[in-house]
Homo-oligomer: A and B are copies of this chain.
Amino acid sequence: MNTKIIEPCDGAYQYPLLIKRLLLSGQRYAPGNEIVCADRRYDYRELNRRIARLANVLRAAGIGPGDTVAVMDWDSHRYLEAYFAVPMIGAVLHHVNVRLSVDQIGYTMAHAEDRLVLVHDDFLPIVEELAGRLPLVRGFIRLSDSDAVADTSLNSLGEYEALLDAASADCDFPDFDENSVATTFYTTGTTGNPKGVFFSHRQLVLHTLNMATTLAAHDGVPLLRSQDVYMPMTPMFHVHAWGVPYVATLLGVKQVYPGRYEPNRLVKLYREEGVTFSHGVPTVLQMVLNCDEAKDTDLGRWKLLTGGAAPTEGLVRQMSERGIGFYTGYGMSETCPLLSLTYLDARQAELPAAEQVALRMRTGVPIPLVDLRIVDEAGREVEPDDRGVGEVQVRAPWLTQGYLREPEKGAELWQGGWLHTGDVASINRDGVLQIRDRIKDVIKTGGEWISSLLLESLISRHPKVANVAVIGVPDARWDERPLALVVPAAGETLDSEMLKRHLAQFVASGEINKWAIPDDIRFVESIPVTSVGKVNKKQIRERIAQSATL
């Protein structure tokens, strides 16, 4: 189109959207607010100096623009510093998923072409095992929570804090193309090797600004404002801890980094540091709520954002009863991540807490700038009647533009200019999403779709059920039939008939059809989960398939 394009005059500064710019405001608004991690606490002025020191350390280690730096750490102030320093010198930050198998970690580090590794003592054995397979790595920087120096065979350039102490706090951060890659990390695909997603400076700045607006501006969702205190309960390697550390830094919010997740310590930090806002997957929130420390602690100040999996009604009710402000977000590794968030309008925000439970369990409303549609199998957009279901497809300024060096997989993700999430959802009159299932987890039976997530949710309402997973298994007559794996609550006994009677009530109430009740219900001791705590249906399917052939 023949629009009139801006012509900058001589001397005009064309401002690239770079991560360094997110640091400007925090130190002005709240120079004295603290970053806290274990015994260490320092303010925003010092954060800026430490980021400059880290950048100098990285440069001294030979890291330049375009090089990739891996981090393997628990959630810490060091990781926050790396969120800024690595991309600010034009390098790429590889958030290593330390919960993958050693082989998979090795695959991702080789595939991302890591040149330098910042590694916590706890993960030294992994990199020692991998070292021979990572010929591009020039050296390792050790991250340590104690003064004891762990022995290592690695080419260690030194310990993080000692290196920072010795480095200059002056550093010039140049401008460069805002479309430069800033971060990369790997999704655990259901088949084959993990796939690398990547995000540019521009994308992260836009995600940060937009998330800041979303978290602050809605009266029904006042999740994060300048006087909040933030503590993540999602690993920092997991989709930039949902992007919140960048938002918190933009606003100059006090930040508390908990290291390894131990529920009692998390609650202790909540209490002692005045934490007001955290986020995590439902399983982590559940553990935190049920730990000893939580029993006698008033949790009413806490605002919790969940995502990554559907929260159970039990979890949401429990939070509501304890006075916790509870919100649901939706996104994925490919989307930076935030796409939608609980939104309560003026009327809904005034409802009694119990009546808000159902609203807060839904997947939320697309946030500003996100263009989202739900497309059925026939390629039509579904009606906002909460009945029609289809795949969620999105456009936003912060979506991965493919998979690292795997163009053919990128072209599956992106079709016709829309990112295909692989999630099945409906949308209601108020524009609120409800994710129903992963496309690949939907059970197709007799020409109809059954949501495995819905069945899991209904089964989990039985008081004697501790955990449940439902998958589809091949069926000669119906194409697929649901199969449920159930973990009974401690000390309880259950049988299939009890659960079928339990499910029959939801047939009566119209929530499911009769043919959705699984014929095959098996009792197990545990349900396998993925490295980020989600039910690992891929593994369940493999085990079931193997057991069928045994």
Contacts and interface: CB of A to CB of B under 8 A. Distances in A.
B66 A13 contact: no
A5 B181 contact: yes
Chain A contact-residue range equals: 35 or more
A180 B9 contact: no
Interface string A1-42: 111111111111111010001101100111100000000000
B7 A65 contact: no
Contacts of A135: none
A388 interface: no
B431 A28 contact: yes
A403 B9 contact: yes
B216 A226 contact: no
A367 B418 CA distance: 34
A212 B215 CA distance: 11
Contacts of A415: 11
A209 B200 contact: no
A206 B414 CA distance: 26
Contacts of A17: 206, 397
Interface string A217-229: 1111000111100
A345 B31 CA distance: 10
Contact of A416 (B2, B11, B370, B431): B11
A346 interface: yes
Contacts of A346: 227
* Candidate in A7, A213, A226 with the most chain B CB atoms within 10 angstroms: A213
A343 interface: yes
In the assembly, how many copies of this chain are there?
2
A65 B2 CA distance: 6
Interface string A389-418: 000000111010111000100110111111
Interface stretch (A103-111, A138-146, A171-179, A289-297): A171-179
A369 B21 contact: yes
B366 A1 contact: no
A371 interface: yes
Interface in A340-394: 343, 345-346, 365-371
Contacts of A5: 177, 179-181
A201 to B, nearest CB: 9
Contacts of A414: 9-13
Contact of A410 (B9, B24, B174, B177): B9
30 contacts: A3-B177, A4-B65, A4-B66, A4-B92, A4-B181, A5-B177, A5-B181, A6-B179, A6-B198, A7-B401, A9-B401, A9-B413, A10-B410, A11-B410, A12-B399, A12-B410, A13-B419, A15-B396, A17-B206, A21-B369, A25-B370, A28-B365, A28-B431, A30-B345, A209-B210, A213-B213, A216-B216, A216-B217, A218-B226, A227-B346
10 closest pairs, A vs B, by CB? Answer: A9-B410, A9-B402, A3-B180, A216-B217, A11-B414, A8-B401, A25-B368, A216-B216, A13-B417, A1-B176
